[in-house]
Structure formats: structure tokens, C-alpha cells
Amino acid sequence: MTSSFSAELISCRNVSVVHGTGPAQVSALLDIDLAVRPGERLALHGASGSGKTTLLHVLGGLLVPTRGVVSWQGEPLSTLDAAGRGRARAAGIAFVFQSSNLLPTFTAFENVAFAAAARSRTDDLDRRAIGPEELLGLVGLDGKLDALPAELSGGEAQRVALARALAQRPQLLLCDEPTGHLDSDTGIRVLDLIDALQAEFGFAQVTATHDADVVARYPRDLALRDGRVLAAEVSA
């Protein structure tokens, strides 16, 4: 791995996302500069409409910026076509969304197995592949292998979503309001689990939230308003 890889896992340089033209033009992001290093934990915070989700989608290659460059492991991501960005995601970027987004006709085991089978990267053979059953055990759901999403509580479904993300052996985990649909106690348990898994597997993590209590859990945070960066802080 080169020194540039160790310095920055993913970065945005002068990234803007603009929708529409003329009087109807709306800027979702404006001149964002951001770098995330391997293993780093970062919170994006701001009110609804501040640009948090848009920035996550840009980082994950789901959205191409109007201007600027996104780089993944030192290589351009934003200039790739859809297939190329998909291959980059398969090489180490995983999402956990506000809603678990599980396949409704698949069991918990099948949801995780599907993600594991879809992972196409083979150039990191030193990283051990973990099977769906073991992953579900890691998130405390070894007794729910055959449960359909409709049979799971909100917290259980979100834990399956975490196991599904881990099945991709990510180097970067992007979480969009992962506790937004959960009660406070369940939300804390899910956040504790994400932190424990991050400590064990060492992936970088970027979480979008509007909750100050969630932000306080992160050593670094980036405040957004109307698509602009207000402040970037590192906890002592």
C-alpha cells in the first residue's frame, strides 16, 4: 500500500452538487473539501436539507458531483462511469441507511449471504471472509437466521443491515441516520455495536446525523448548513 493510501482513504476536493438551472437552481453541496483516513470515525451533522445525505452519496459513488473531484484510495472515483463506481464500491465501500432496506422476501441469512456473494473484490486475500451465520452472530442475531424482515424489530432489522454491510468487508462504512427510526435505547445499542465492530475490523466510518448526542460519540465532526461546511472539529 502506498503512502498516499495511508494518508487518505477517500477525499473530496472542491466538490459541489447543483440541481436544476436558472432561477430553479439549487445547490445541495458547495465547495466541499474533506479527507477521511483509514480507520477514522467522522460525524456529519446538520438539520434536514443541510447536505449530509448528498455528501454520503457522493462519497459512496452513488452521486456524481457537478464540480470537483472525489478520490478513492488515491484514484479518481467521481470521473468513473456507473459500472466503474459500482466496482469501486464492491472494493470496499458499504452503506447502512436510515431504513434497513432489507430484501423483504429474503431471510436475515439470505440478505447477508446475498451481499457476501455480490462482493467481487479478490485482491485482498489477507482479509478473512466471514460467513453470513458468523456475521449475524456478531450482531447478536444467531437465533434469527430464518426470520423475514417483517418478523424483525426495528433494531433487529438494523443489525441485519450492519451484518450485510460487513459481508462486503468494507474499508469505509457510510451510515445515514442509522438510528433515525429507532427508539433511544435501541439506537444507543446499535451505535455501541457499530463502534465495537469498527474497533474489531478497523474500517473507517462516516455517519450522518442531526442528533447532538450521536455527534458527541465521534472524535471528529463536520457541521453542514445549506450545503456548506460550517465547522470541522476534533475532540481533545
The predicted-structure confidence for 62-107, as pLDDT tens digits, reads as follows: 999 999 999 999 999 988 999 989 888 888 999 999 888 999 999 9
Q: What is the pLDDT of residue 2?
A: 38
Distance CA 57, CA 49 (A): 14
Provide mean pLDDT across the span 138-144: 92
Domain ranges of the chain: 3-234
Confidence of residue 120 (pLDDT cuts 50, 70, 90): very low
Considering the domain delimited by 3-234, tell me its CATH architecture: 3-Layer(aba) Sandwich (3.40)
Provide mean pLDDT across the span 97-118: 91
**pLDDT, greater one: 126 or 194:** 194
The answer on pLDDT for 144 being more than 80 is yes
* Overall pTM surpassing 0.85 (yes/no): yes
Provide mean pLDDT across the span 189-198: 91
**pLDDT, greater one: 181 or 235:** 181
Q: Percent of the chain at pLDDT above 70?
A: 90
Q: What is the pLDDT of residue 25?
A: 84
| Average pLDDT in the chain | 88
Q: What is the pLDDT of residue 43?
A: 96
The answer on pLDDT for 229 being more than 50 is yes
